[in-house]
Structure 1
Amino acid sequence: MYALGRAVLILLFLAIPPCQAESPPLPSPAGKVVLTISGQISNKNHDNDAVFDMNMLAALPQHTIATRTPWLPGISRFTGPYLQDVLNLVGAKGRTLKAIALNDYKTDIPLDDAARYQVVLARLLNGKPMPVRDKGPLFIVYPYDSQPALRSEIYYNRSAWQLKSLQVE
Structure 2
Amino acid sequence: MFGALITAQPAIAAYDFPQPKSDVILTIVPLGSDTPIKLDRVGLGGLPRDSFTTSTIWTAGVSEFEGVRISVLLDALGVRSGTIKFMAVNDYAIDIPVADLLENDPIIAEKVDGEYMSLREKGPLWLIYPYDTAAKFQTSVIYSRSIWQLDRMQVLE
Shorter-chain TM-score bucket reads: 0.7 to 0.9
Counterpart position of 1:8: none
TM norm structure 2: 0.83
Q: In 2, are the aligned partners of 1:117 and 1:143 still within 8 Å (CA)? A: no
**For residue 112 of structure 2, what is the amino acid of its counterpart?**
L
**For residue 114 of structure 1, what is the amino acid of its counterpart?**
L
The one of 149, 156, 168 equivalent to 2:136 is 149
Question: How many Å apart are 1:98 and its aligned residue?
Answer: 0.4
Residue-by-residue CA offset, 1:78-108 (whole Å, 9 max, x unaligned): 1011111111111224321100111111111
Identity %: 34
Question: How many Å apart are 1:38 and its aligned residue?
Answer: 3.8
> Structure 2 stretches of 5 or more lacking a match?
1-11
Q: Does 1:37 align with 2:24?
A: no
Q: Does 1:83 align with 2:65?
A: no
Question: How many Å apart are 1:146 and its aligned residue?
Answer: 1.6
**Which has the higher mean CA deviation after the structures are superposed, 117-126 or 27-36?**
27-36
Residue-by-residue CA offset, 1:81-140 (whole Å, 9 max, x unaligned): 111111111122432110011111111111123321221010000110001001001100
Dislocated runs of 4+, deviation >6 Å: none
Please identify the structure whose Cα radius of gyration is greater.
Answer: 1
Question: How many Å apart are 1:23 and its aligned residue?
Answer: 2.1
Question: How many Å apart are 1:167 and its aligned residue?
Answer: 0.3
Q: Does 1:92 align with 2:83?
A: no
The one of 46, 49, 52 equivalent to 1:62 is 49
Q: In 2, are the aligned partners of 1:140 and 1:159 still within 8 Å (CA)? A: yes
**For residue 126 of structure 2, what is the amino acid of its counterpart?**
F
Q: In 1, are the aligned partners of 2:15 and 2:77 still within 8 Å (CA)? A: no
Counterpart position of 2:19: 28
Q: In 2, are the aligned partners of 1:113 and 1:119 still within 8 Å (CA)? A: no
Q: 1:115 to 1:94 in 2, by over 3 A?
A: closer
TM norm structure 1: 0.77
The one of 101, 106, 122 equivalent to 1:119 is 106
> Structure 1 stretches of 5 or more lacking a match?
1-20
Q: CA RMSD in A?
A: 2.0
Q: In 2, are the aligned partners of 1:34 and 1:137 still within 8 Å (CA)? A: yes
Question: How many Å apart are 1:72 and its aligned residue?
Answer: 0.3
Whole-angstrom distance in 2 between the partners of 1:56 and 1:104: 25
Q: 1:22 to 1:105 in 2, by over 3 A?
A: closer
Whole-angstrom distance in 1 between the partners of 2:36 and 2:71: 17
Q: How does 1:101-116 map to 2 (within 5 A)?
A: 101-116=88-103
Whole-angstrom distance in 1 between the partners of 2:124 and 2:15: 26
